[in-house]
Structure 1
């Protein structure tokens, strides 16, 4: 098979066009950069579905130290404190940078930013846009800015399929467009591909968010960290629609409560109640459902007729499901939402592979630890994009002539493995289910079919979950129900090229890395 080699002058390539990719490209200006989007800009990015906002200490009584403490508490002992401290200090300036790019955040009549409250935050510090349409507003404004930035070349409907590596470093990106296979020679690539929710049956993520960036990094031989930590949002709208519409945590921040079909509030005795950490609330909702009950989010008393004004997008999706949140409780259930693990990166977003960076959900910076604090994800993506851009711009881009690889894997399709992943890697886990998951995923990952790359990603997550024989944050095992601070003070990493590892029946060498 022939490949069309595109000379891009050694420019860095950003793979992914959500907020992390768009912001990295903008921060690299005026340096030339190529931005790959596997669909028309803004149509499939997970960012566009984000109802929550960005966390930043902007209120008079708030400050970075409070934001730091809340993040560390939610992360359950696995956050990198130095990175979190750096992030929370940079967050207020990041909000200003977004406004400079044209993002219109919600404000009161007197001009002050309207700050919301979400779970495990000690202060109101969540900045929103359009009420519950923050992600859509971010994407709108950033795409408009990218379109008018001459240094950014956007290649739409182009999907990266492999990172070509030689002597431990990136030398090209192998991609597929509507017209065929193309090779983009480069010594610098940035993964900004989002998360893994599409591996699960119940998810708030687009179906294409199936860990594609993790698979690219795996075949390039990158190191991963904290893959076992998958966050389930407690309140997705319970219905047939996929991805599942999210009922934002901000609704609970306004006072909505969780009840069963009898109207009983079942979190009243839980510290923090409905605003307890997400893993706590998600497990409580899951248990209620497992016991044969239904679960509803009741906003009738706290919002009532004001619901549509405060949360117009949520009100619309509820009405489509024949639910009027002003007079009806909203049926909810947990859904896979965010991945705390990812490509292990340093403070500049560099991976263990020379010339490869990662930014946003695909990266593991150490900010989120075992359980992400609400609305820290968009903040992390925006802030770390500037760190990545600075590092990429300061790295040599010498070019060499290379021979094109002719192997192009199939477009990833996780549909056949979703039941396996949902059973093995759900909110409640155990060793037997994890081992069964590994046994089912291994032959698919070792094959050459559309599900192979998604199966490889799920396999790595399952291996990491097996290795962590404790319960911590979003990782809960019934066979190891306690937090084991003595045995597991560290984050777990996966190292090594996946090709040989899968062939040997072992998804990477598992090692402990002290943090």
Structure 2
């Protein structure tokens, strides 16, 4: 048994921002299921958005965020985070985070899709996440301990329903318990639920599944952002081609050289991601290959060194000026319902980063707002925790008393799950396909077991199945198209019926039903 003041599960920018800002007299432990740098944050090519230029203003940034999110956003969250963005980014830069600068040493600002002004700050051209994670790690003090290769799989509650700890498995299968005054999930989204994804292999929705099983409120799960441009070679996606490439002038074309975004949206290739992803999907569905034409970008290899290396490693000859692309799962707009400081419906449990749903992103995330949200939430939660006194907790633990452990757990095959999610709950959805997927998912044993005696591989299958069910059920409930959720049988937005309606799920511990749905108005 290990006790600490603050326990953080995950190691992305939200987690590390929180860890570095906790007062030094408080002990902090960071647990991660793999290597501490094996996370989506470290892979992030795109930048971080803030209205820093004289031509820009947070009001413009907020308007772009609301437009991209199709007004499903929590407006107060949008304005709070966006207005603080310039200060947050400038502070990181002043503290030494290696953002790119121009010849006059000012922060270099780029353009990305659905932004009306240049406001994207990058690090190392297309290695922003790496630069930010390396900086935040360098800032950790002696009160922060890190522990790798711990697969956290259960949230522990006391008799009053407060979160007091977690259980995790070591590589040898041994179970360890960790207790803390403040338990923070910063486990990321669930991109690996789909065949094609930009996400790290570790991003399987663990934190959201655990929070759901513990009874936390889960919201907006139907809104999945598919990044339009993943490198596509021999029927497989091999990595992300940053939206910044299109911001520098890259144009999407089909195999005959026709610009596919012409006439589709006023922003053309810089249209919101769901518009671009759906357009590419339509071409690929009709067996028409799609390429990103980079021939007009000067010194592409110097501007995008990481992307260039990835392309070359996969046999792409950049001198021809065309990169084959396809859309893939990229970001979850929904997640555990939280406030801006990460507080959930369970006392003592906090969720920050992509696993959380603050309402900033609405139905579709505006490019480069995710790193911003993580940095903001990490700071806000640190301020909250730093103001708290040592808590007195009831140490009587609720240990899944209503569950039984059974042998022969019936779980989905991961590849089959990924393929079925891509086909039925992917970029284009219909009632028939969603009902097929829900029926398929419900045949498995996902929620009614204690997982103590099962391998991390089997627990991962169960968690992925739970998330698949939540996404599919939410997509079935929303009978309109909005942002990252597109129903070809309901292709239009229905503001009157859905603008303020959100589907929230909450599971009561010990309850045997599949999902408890609560329709809420916000």
What TM-score does the superposition give when structure 1 sets the normalisation length? 0.93
Q: Name the structure 1 match of 2:519.
A: 512
Q: Name the structure 2 match of 1:471.
A: 481
- In 2, distance between residues paired with 1:224 and 1:405? 22
1:43-442 maps to which residues of 2 (within 5 A)? 44-146=38-140, 149-166=141-158, 167-178=160-171, 180-239=174-233, 244-270=238-264, 271-301=266-296, 303-304=297-298, 306-395=299-388, 396-402=390-396, 405=399, 414-442=414-442
- In 2, distance between residues paired with 1:209 and 1:108? 35
- In 1, distance between residues paired with 2:205 and 2:293? 34
- In 1, distance between residues paired with 2:397 and 2:413? 28
- In 1, distance between residues paired with 2:329 and 2:280? 13
Secondary structure of 1:194 counterpart:
coil
Secondary structure of 1:184 counterpart:
strand
Residues 267/254 of structure 1: CA separation in 2 closer, same or farther (3 Å cut): same
Q: Name the structure 1 match of 2:455.
A: none
8 Å CA contact 2:50–2:85 kept in 1: the answer is yes
Q: How far off its partner does 1:394 sit? A: 3.2
- In 2, distance between residues paired with 1:514 and 1:80? 11
The farther-off stretch of 87-96 and 48-57 is 87-96
Residues 413/127 of structure 1: CA separation in 2 closer, same or farther (3 Å cut): farther
- In 1, distance between residues paired with 2:273 and 2:149? 35
8 Å CA contact 2:218–2:506 kept in 1: the answer is no
Residues 383/119 of structure 1: CA separation in 2 closer, same or farther (3 Å cut): same
The superposition leaves residues 217-237 of structure 1 with CA deviations (integer Å, 9 ceiling, x where unpaired) of 011100011110000000000
Q: How far off its partner does 1:100 sit? A: 4.7
- In 2, distance between residues paired with 1:403 and 1:230? 35
8 Å CA contact 1:206–1:243 kept in 2: the answer is no
CA RMSD of aligned residues (A): 2.1
Q: How far off its partner does 1:188 sit? A: 1.7
Q: How far off its partner does 1:468 sit? A: 0.6
- In 1, distance between residues paired with 2:413 and 2:96? 36
8 Å CA contact 1:412–1:453 kept in 2: the answer is no
- In 2, distance between residues paired with 1:48 and 1:412? 29
- In 2, distance between residues paired with 1:243 and 1:383? 31
What TM-score does the superposition give when structure 2 sets the normalisation length? 0.92
Partner of residue 15 from structure 2, selected from 2, 16, 21: 21
Q: How far off its partner does 1:12 sit? A: 1.7
Q: How far off its partner does 1:353 sit? A: 0.7
Q: How far off its partner does 1:424 sit? A: 2.0
- In 2, distance between residues paired with 1:335 and 1:86? 30
Residues 340/257 of structure 1: CA separation in 2 closer, same or farther (3 Å cut): same
Q: How far off its partner does 1:96 sit? A: 2.6
Please list every run of at least 4 consecutive aligned residues from structure 1 whose deviation after the TM superposition is greater than 6 angstroms: 406-413
- In 2, distance between residues paired with 1:16 and 1:249? 26
The farther-off stretch of 342-351 and 171-180 is 171-180
Question: How many pairs were matched up?
Answer: 501
Residues 140/294 of structure 1: CA separation in 2 closer, same or farther (3 Å cut): same
The superposition leaves residues 39-84 of structure 1 with CA deviations (integer Å, 9 ceiling, x where unpaired) of 2321x11111110000001111111111111111111011111111
Residues 436/412 of structure 1: CA separation in 2 closer, same or farther (3 Å cut): closer
2:6 equivalent to 1:6:
no
Residues 21/513 of structure 1: CA separation in 2 closer, same or farther (3 Å cut): same
Residues 6/16 of structure 1: CA separation in 2 closer, same or farther (3 Å cut): same
Secondary structure of 2:202 counterpart:
coil
8 Å CA contact 2:363–2:484 kept in 1: the answer is yes
- In 2, distance between residues paired with 1:40 and 1:475? 33
The superposition leaves residues 99-137 of structure 1 with CA deviations (integer Å, 9 ceiling, x where unpaired) of 355320000121011100000101000000000011111
- In 2, distance between residues paired with 1:125 and 1:496? 38
Mind listing any 5+ residue stretches in structure 1 that lack a counterpart?
none
The superposition leaves residues 400-458 of structure 1 with CA deviations (integer Å, 9 ceiling, x where unpaired) of 43458499999998444212221221000011111111111123224654311110011
The superposition leaves residues 235-287 of structure 1 with CA deviations (integer Å, 9 ceiling, x where unpaired) of 00002597731110000001110101111112111221000110000000000
Q: How far off its partner does 1:347 sit? A: 2.9
Residues 13/414 of structure 1: CA separation in 2 closer, same or farther (3 Å cut): farther
Q: Name the structure 1 match of 2:443.
A: 443
8 Å CA contact 1:205–1:243 kept in 2: the answer is no
8 Å CA contact 1:79–1:369 kept in 2: the answer is yes
